[in-house]
Amino acid sequence: MTLEPAVEMLWEDADPAVVLAERFSFDSAGAAANWVAGALSSRYSLAPDACDRIILSDGNALAWVTCDGEPFIAKWSVVPDRFARLAATARLTTWLGDRGHPVSAPVAALDGRTQLELDGISLSVQRVAPGQHLDVGDLQLVREAGATLARLHADLAAYPGAADFPRPRTPALSSKESIEAWAAGDLQHLPADAVRLLVRMLANVSDAQPPAHLVHGDYRSANILTRDGEITAVLDFEELRFDSPVGELARSALMLGTLFHGWGPVSPAVHRAFKDGYEDVRALSEDESRWWPLLTLWWSLLMVPAGDDPTGWGAATDEMARRLTRDTEC
């Protein structure tokens, strides 16, 4: 296979040809495609006949490859410090797939491994999952996305290989300690009423944190595929971390509509539908229900930029604070 696939950057404003050469040691897109083809044919017994595109992000790459008419994605990293975690993530997604979750589980290589290390590269291969990115304008789909997250949380909490993902030394993002430390910083660019409300709410929650376990870490439209009213795949478990379920629920509700650019806020109706879907499967405890409004407000404040605000996070946060204040007064 000697095609020259299109190469692009996922996030960065950089020349993909330069990145491909300097970070990945391929002097052309064709060379990268040929390396992928060789790995797939020799390690997976797949027969590649086309490579359409390659997307680069930091030290990671994704190549869309067709093998005997079936689409696959080859994902690889050139950052050795990530290799052990990538292997652990491959084992986890395989386990979730075996339990019936809509995940893009890796294809096993000929030797049975789901994450290979070769030529200084960590590689996995997945079948391309069907569907389109979640449309947050469809509230029924949003509700189903919430239910899917609740089912994922139930099994992530019970995953027997959780020790493969070391717990961080710093507090979880949704912890009272983390939010108090943030609130002590420079918040001059933020809506003042919303900050004051957050501080009052923080004083009224228990010092005991909601229990933490493994969570997805990046549950939003970019990583949720749907088709015919169903969730067909949850993608990208590379951001797995330990946090409270309600912490991830709040973060995901606020960022559910984000794809790859233009990270704007979604409506309160989306927040409600997402939370309702989650609680269709797993009701929040009384303690978690007290944390929910605080965490949604905090994540909204975190998204307000210090400079220009083209997507309107400041206005959305201001309105959320007014709504929460009215609800409290009622």
Q: Are residues 294 and 250 in the same domain?
A: yes
Q: Are 181 and 302 part of one and the same domain?
A: yes
Residue 169 CA to residue 114 CA, distance in Å, equals 29
Residue 280 within any structural domain of the chain: yes
Answer yes or no: do 90 and 218 share one domain. Answer: no
Contacts of 29 (CB under 8 A, 6+ apart): 4, 5, 6, 7, 17, 20, 54
CA 101-209-196 angle, to 5 degrees, is 110
pLDDT tens string 40-93: 999 998 999 999 999 999 999 999 999 999 999 999 999 999 999 999 999 999
Contact 40, 67 (CB under 8 A): yes
**Is 310 exposed, middle or buried, given 0-12, 13-18 or 19+ CB atoms closer than 10 A?**
exposed
Domain termination site, one of 101, 127, 153: 127
| Residues 201, 72 within the same domain | no
Q: How many domains does the chain have?
A: 2
Does residue 250 share a domain with residue 117? Answer: no
In a domain, 122, yes or no: yes
Domain stop point among 98, 127, 156: 127
Beta bridge partners of 224: 234
Which of residues 127, 160, 179 is at a domain's end?
Answer: 127
Chain CA centroid to CA 183, Å: 25
Collapse the DSSP code of 160 into the 3-class scheme (helix H, G, I; strand E, B; otherwise coil) and give the result: coil
DSSP β-ladder status, 213-215 and 230-234? unpaired
Task: Indicate the pTM of the whole model.
Answer: 0.92
Residue (of 110, 114, 82) closest to 97 by Cα position: 114
172 and 295 fall within a common domain: yes
Decide if 225 contacts 134 (C-beta within 8 A).
Answer: yes
Note whether residue 144 is domain-resident: yes
Splitting the chain (330 residues) into consecutive groups of 10 residues, what average pLDDT does each group show? 82 93 95 95 94 94 95 96 96 97 95 94 95 96 98 98 89 83 92 95 83 94 95 95 95 92 89 98 94 96 92 95 83
pLDDT of the residue at 329: 64
Closest by alpha carbon to 309, among 243, 262, 267? 262
Tell me how far apart the alpha carbons of residues 215 and 248 are, in angstroms, rounded to a whole number.
7
Q: Say whether both 72 and 158 belong to one domain.
A: no
Tell me the angle at which helices 245-255 and 268-281 cross, rounded to the nearest 10 degrees.
150
Task: Flag whether 200 is in a domain.
Answer: yes
* Helix extents (H) in the chain: 16-24, 29-43, 83-98, 139-158, 176-183, 192-203, 245-255, 268-281, 286-302, 313-329
Separation of alpha carbons 139 and 274, rounded Å: 8
Would you say the C-alpha torsion 148, 149, 155, 161 has a positive or negative sign? positive
Contacts of 2 (CB under 8 A, 6+ apart): 30, 33, 34
Residues 235 and 316 placed together within one structural domain of the fold: yes
Co-location of 100 and 149 in the same domain: no
Examine the domain organization and report whether 147 and 62 are in the same domain: no
For residues 84 and 149, state if they share a domain.
Answer: no
- Domain interval for residue 57: 6-127
* Same domain membership, residue 316 and residue 230: yes
Token look-up 């590689």 returns 123
For the chain, the C-alpha Rg in angstroms (whole number) is 21
In a domain, 1, yes or no: no
Domain at 278, CATH number: 3.90.1200.10
User: Does 219 reside within a domain?
Assistant: yes
Sheet of 60-67: strands edge to edge? 6-9, 48-57, 60-67, 70-77, 121-127, 116-118
Give 221-247 as a DSSP string: GGGEEEETTEEEEE---TT-EEE-HHH
CATH number of the domain to which 98 belongs = 3.30.200.20
Residue 59 lies in a domain: yes
Asked if residues 232 and 130 have their Cβ atoms less than 8 Å apart, the reply is yes
Instruction: Confirm if 293 and 201 have CB atoms less than 8 A apart.
Output: yes
The per-residue pLDDT for 241 is 93
137-158: b (≥16 Cβ within 10 Å) or e: eebebbbbbbbbbbbbbeebee
| Residue 119 maps to a domain | yes
